[in-house]
Structure 1
């Protein structure tokens, strides 16, 4: 399948939120020793590539299921990056001529089970996905056994840091340690002291909830009620009643699509929207969503999600949306994890070039280096700049659309940003930090 043809076949610790911007960088993480040094050597003329490298990748991203709203920006990020790699192929020798697009679905509809086997049989170097940590856990061992790279733009579960993956699992999204700390500090700085939490009872929900509660209570706050639900549940009356009965001054909702039931129910019961807090799994532009009741105003509600640096790259978002539209789709209104998806593909292409190979193990062995996590490389912010450094005999240290990345030995980014967003009267959110 052509890279230009999309088919269906187939979250590092910080203790404070400064100025509304939540950043986990090498210094904040006390991981400065892991960061690339940013070489200062004068660049030389890039050499001709020694061989052509046809890199084959596949996607296992949510076209269906409870995270399907993340699919379009993620797939568009992948497609745009592949297009840029191909645009520079005459110089680099690296091409991505074939993307095998696939659906991850979710733990309920299990689309991932068919997709991962398709990607393995197609002989991809890397599978981009999944978005859901719970879904990735269900196929990761199969991918590792098959010897292919799994590269997620959105997995945040803490469990992946210590997964037995033979060095084949990588992610551009920071673990939930970061988002949980940002949330804890945000609610405390907003003046809340008695908070109730409703969370999804899976690795994502429990991990994020645990970190949030540790940080929030560490600031002197109190968790006055804690409720959970299981994937597939459709009725939340008991949980909502318990939350409201605890008389909290804020409620944190760690959910996926269940927000469509839980959010309106809380608002209908009279709970103030400006005391609701959302997370990456449910932060959506409800004002442009036909599934959201028009009378359910979220004005003042806040949410967090991993994002690029606060200086919004409108040019990048326009390019991502234009790629998506060119595929016959409507303009993107949500760009969640587009940055991380784009960076995943760029890093794979750079690692392939640095390795002189498209073999998964060879590519994986270079991913930490090209991210700046090892090798004392020279900083570069575009694919072309990084290619020229590598072809000139140097080591590239890519700082991408999602941030510096800087992988550690576990495949986790050690420098990342979590954005803070707030809903307006139109039920659309804007970044405030």
Structure 2
């Protein structure tokens, strides 16, 4: 089932995508500067083509590196379609690696991206990582737009109106997950939790929902990014003999799984967006049969046309075939929205784009519905107001850059250790 709720590495293979804009490098800053200085106060494209430079701070390394390919693919695919449409704006992508809070790749990557005069940075995937550099980005009058941050810490963050995300807050995912576990008949729950803003926040809301439904959380040990042994946490949870266990982790789950399933039935395990993956033959067949999980976004089984096109594009760019699609749609939508907002503002100035983002998402309550960049751009270029409904959902930003409409999908693992819609 899917639950609908109103709530709130390297770029060598992508040379062909950027070949068409490589020659624009010498004039990109000039165009951006002119646009920033002479934005169209009436809204809509003033007739002068814009060159919008977007940086990415997505995980090529670190404990969320498995999410890097679909997210980078989503960005690149959106850029290719926008450039192909030739409707008044060209996207130039400058790739970067967010890393994680252990390897700290962002410490050198974010200054590098900002030195390239990007108008926006798409990233990071990890909430904890984004919190390490959000102040640096917004201080440079640059938008930080995450396709995957779900921590509630961002909702009231002092970001000068420059932070946006296409993934909903964990308030919603926690409610769905906690209720799912309770509805499955479990009365006691153990949790192993990543000790960062994402992990502890999602654990909090999962616990609240589960206990509000009559359950009890009996153990919730944490671990830190960079830890390599989790025996103590697993032993603490198993010792409490819970009915169910939820693993609120990132890629560390791969190390945990063998020890957890050797002492606990897989059908009573629950995963989250930070670790839900198609594990396939990484483990013997049947290892995860019956385990379940959640992640924000339109149910992957209903995204067939998009994921097929995304994968075909990515392979066509010389990259490996995608095996995961988590947050690919959200990354795609982030770039489409940035481009539409730049068109509406008639500017590539970060704050000017930010002021238009709520409107092009439909958050202002006005606008003509449209579902592709080309259709929305035609509306804007014609002097109208566009309301983009994305591949990942309606989005509809509120005044603090959070999506107000979202979908949480629920999934179940089969004998092949891969997941499908539940």
Same fold (TM over 0.5): yes
Report what 2:88 is aligned to: 93
CA RMSD of aligned residues (A): 1.5
Report what 1:282 is aligned to: 275
Equivalent of residue 83 in structure 1, options 77, 80, 85: 80
Report what 2:256 is aligned to: 262
Report what 2:381 is aligned to: 391
Report what 1:70 is aligned to: 67
Alignment map for 1:39-58 (pairs within 5 Å): 50-58=47-55
Q: Is the 8 A contact 2:266 2:289 kept in 1?
A: yes
Alignment map for 1:211-250 (pairs within 5 Å): 211-250=205-244
Question: Residue 239 of structure 1: CA displacement?
Answer: 1.4
Distance 2:45 2:339 in 1: 16
Tell me which moved more, 68-77 or 296-305: 296-305
Confirm whether residue 297 of structure 1 aligns to residue 290 of structure 2.
Answer: no
Report what 2:192 is aligned to: 198
Distance 1:59 1:232 in 2: 23
How many aligned positions are there?
A: 387
Q: Is the 8 A contact 2:123 2:144 kept in 1?
A: yes
Distance 1:296 1:62 in 2: 29
Confirm whether residue 319 of structure 1 aligns to residue 319 of structure 2.
Answer: no
Question: Residue 49 of structure 1: CA displacement?
Answer: 5.7
Confirm whether residue 23 of structure 1 aligns to residue 4 of structure 2.
Answer: yes
CA distance 1:156–1:51, change in 2 (3 Å):
same
Q: Is the 8 A contact 1:24 1:414 kept in 2?
A: no
Aligned residue for 2:155, secondary structure, equals helix
Distance 2:286 2:256 in 1: 11
Report what 2:411 is aligned to: 421
Distance 2:418 2:348 in 1: 42
Q: Is the 8 A contact 1:67 1:257 kept in 2?
A: yes
Distance 1:229 1:135 in 2: 16
Question: Residue 293 of structure 1: CA displacement?
Answer: 3.2
Encode CA deviations 1:302-341: one digit per residue, 9 max, x unaligned.
0111122576121110111112112222211110000100
Distance 2:300 2:309 in 1: 18
Report what 1:170 is aligned to: 164
Equivalent of residue 373 in structure 1, options 350, 360, 363: 363
Distance 1:74 1:137 in 2: 19
- Which structure is higher in helix share? 2
Distance 1:423 1:399 in 2: 30
Q: Is the 8 A contact 2:285 2:416 kept in 1?
A: no
Distance 1:231 1:68 in 2: 13
Q: Is the 8 A contact 1:21 1:310 kept in 2?
A: no
Confirm whether residue 339 of structure 1 aligns to residue 329 of structure 2.
Answer: yes
Distance 1:48 1:286 in 2: 46
Encode CA deviations 1:119-169: one digit per residue, 9 max, x unaligned.
110000110000001110111100011111110000011111111111111
Confirm whether residue 400 of structure 1 aligns to residue 390 of structure 2.
Answer: yes
Q: Is the 8 A contact 1:104 1:112 kept in 2?
A: yes
Q: Which runs of 4+ in 1 moved over 2 A?
A: 292-296
Question: Residue 170 of structure 1: CA displacement?
Answer: 0.5
Q: Structure 1: any 5+ residue segments left out of the alignment?
A: 1-19, 32-46
Distance 1:375 1:421 in 2: 33
Distance 1:295 1:85 in 2: 42
Report what 1:13 is aligned to: none
Distance 2:83 2:265 in 1: 50
Equivalent of residue 202 in structure 2, options 204, 208, 214: 208
Question: Residue 375 of structure 1: CA displacement?
Answer: 4.7
Distance 1:94 1:232 in 2: 41
Aligned residue for 1:82, secondary structure, equals helix
Equivalent of residue 328 in structure 1, options 318, 321, 335: 318
